[in-house]
Structure 1
Amino acid sequence: MKHKTILITGATRGLGLALARHWAQDNRVITLARSPGEQLDPAIAFYPCDLADEESIQQAMRAIGKDFPVIDVLVNNAAILTSLPLGVMKNSDISAMVAVNLTAPMLISKAIFRKMIQSKAGQIVNILSMAPKLNVVGDSVYSATKSGLEAFSRVLNKEGHRFGVHVNNIGLSAFPSGMLDQIVGDNKDKVLGLIPHGQFAPLDEVIAAIEFFAANSKDIGGQTLYFGGV
């Protein structure tokens, strides 16, 4: 992609940071997160935002709306994961995952969706997960948030199609990140053993998938492309 305005949530580490760095070379890239992180490129526009807090999201979206009248692509990438059996999981962990993984993408999509309708063009891409397909013990809430986001995207795509706005998803297998390290530590084989292809998602193919959706937005919408052979 070139000469686009791209908003990426959670772009201070992992996949989000890699995407932001790649597209910042030829595009205007915006990101939302609690802090910019030490590795964030100065060329990337950063807006502080607590994705677990509705008012913080509203403030950030108002600020972005003033500075960037047109958003071409939104990538809802930010997510958190607490992997524990439901019976021993804290209620606060449940609430946090629902807020960041499901409510935040809905609120951000709502704000950007309105801007895209005015422009009569736009692509929203949600980063989902293989978790709902693998049914791993401990991932019940996380899987529910990702399944909910997929259902949300399919309906939103129908609402946006006649305005030239489309919504698609990428079901990510696994990507090296702080969240992955938090779960498996140095034992990467633990998660790789769950993936049929037995490898992390290649960054270039994730980029290619998102750019494919953005470049073919007349009739491709409501789709989920899964990585890893799941």
Structure 2
Amino acid sequence: MPKVVLITGGSSGIGKAIGEYLSERDYQVFGTSRNPQKITTSSFPLLKLDVNDINSIDTAISEVISKAQKIDVVINNAGVGITGPIEETPESEIKKAFDTNFHGPINVIKAVLPQMRKQGAGHILNITSIAGYMGLPYRGIYSASKAALEITIEAMRMETLQFGIKMTNIAPGDFATNIAAGRYHSPVLENSPYKKDYGNTLKTMNEHVDNGGDPQQMARMVHRIIETENPRIHYKVGSPLQKFSIVLKRILPDKVYERMVLRHYGLK
């Protein structure tokens, strides 16, 4: 019996790459999208699911169970980007980012746990971000939402181990996807005290995404983790510099690391 995999945000970017890779290796893959009827090029079925709508989460999971009689793997991939000076970022947009990047994955997990508990097994993989390991200028809300997910999963994993359920966090760096087009940008305001620094940093961030790695890297890593009997709690996927930045954060004095980040974004 092939493993049954549910991927949130499976219509583009990393989610689509993972779905295609696993489908080619005989997994039974179900992706999700808020508007699956608009996607005509998916090589695996897409179900309607909005991580901000608990009813749609329950309906999609019920549909998978009805069609496949089980769910072996859930990949929490749906997420949104957000940039801007925190002072100038509307509270409504901050809440939206946390709803999608934090509350959404937690609600998906809560909805699928009863089925996995019944099976006595299951694996939940959460796509977080290397940005979640550090506060980055003009990306602080995004970093915070991913950091919150990382820490919550550490706790949830310990709570659910007794049921035979595994949880894993995978933190990607920059990958060449359409996340920049879909994220919320606080506008670069003409009279803003942050105008110059934020404008330059935004340009740098977009270049990093445009020149990012191939999402196939993430797909290969996800496949490897699914096939690992005792996977680690945390994995990082990105350039050597991006992964090394986490090590430096741990070992360098705070202000030294801060200066390094400021220089990296041309802010000092």
Identity %, equivalent residues? 22
Unaligned runs of 5+ in 2: 186-200, 244-268
2:54 corresponds to which letter in structure 1? E
Alignment match, 2:60? 60
1:88 corresponds to which letter in structure 2? E
Shift of 1:56: 2.9
Shift of 1:99: 0.9
**Structure 1 residues 201 and 117: alpha-carbon distance in aligned structure 2, compared to 1, 3 A threshold:** farther
1:13 and 2:12 matched: yes
Matches of 2:216 and 2:46 in 1, distance apart?
24
| RMSD (CA atoms) | 2.8
Matches of 1:227 and 1:189 in 2, distance apart?
20
2:126 corresponds to which letter in structure 1? N
Alignment match, 1:227? 238
Task: Note the alpha carbon deviations across 1:120-149, whole angstroms, 9 max, x for none.
Answer: 222111111121335322222211110111
Report if aligned partners of 1:192, 1:200 keep a CA contact under 8 Å in 2: no
1:191 corresponds to which letter in structure 2? M
**Structure 1 residues 163 and 221: alpha-carbon distance in aligned structure 2, compared to 1, 3 A threshold:** farther
The alignment partner of 2:171 has SS state of strand
Shift of 1:110: 1.5
Unaligned runs of 5+ in 1: none
**Structure 1 residues 93 and 189: alpha-carbon distance in aligned structure 2, compared to 1, 3 A threshold:** closer
The alignment partner of 2:30 has SS state of strand
The alignment partner of 2:156 has SS state of helix
Alignment match, 2:39? 38
Matches of 1:190 and 1:86 in 2, distance apart?
18
**Structure 1 residues 31 and 134: alpha-carbon distance in aligned structure 2, compared to 1, 3 A threshold:** same
**Structure 1 residues 39 and 17: alpha-carbon distance in aligned structure 2, compared to 1, 3 A threshold:** farther
The alignment partner of 1:71 has SS state of coil
Matches of 2:109 and 2:10 in 1, distance apart?
16
Between 1:204-213 and 1:123-132, the stretch displaced more is 204-213
Report if aligned partners of 1:170, 1:225 keep a CA contact under 8 Å in 2: yes
Report if aligned partners of 2:22, 2:223 keep a CA contact under 8 Å in 1: no
Report if aligned partners of 2:86, 2:140 keep a CA contact under 8 Å in 1: yes
Shift of 1:193: 7.5
Shift of 1:188: 10
Report if aligned partners of 1:49, 1:56 keep a CA contact under 8 Å in 2: yes
Alignment match, 2:148? 148
2:53 corresponds to which letter in structure 1? D
What is the number of residues matched between the two proteins? Answer: 223
**Structure 1 residues 135 and 193: alpha-carbon distance in aligned structure 2, compared to 1, 3 A threshold:** farther
2:168 corresponds to which letter in structure 1? N
Aligned equivalent of 1:211, options 201, 223, 233 = 223
Matches of 2:131 and 2:84 in 1, distance apart?
13
TM-score (norm 2): 0.73
Matches within 5 A, 1:151-162: 151-162=151-162
1:128 and 2:140 matched: no
Shift of 1:73: 1.1
Bigger share in helix: 2
Task: Note the alpha carbon deviations across 1:20-63, whole angstroms, 9 max, x for none.
Answer: 1222231211122211243542x522221222233332333333
Structure with greater Cα Rg: 2
The alignment partner of 1:157 has SS state of helix
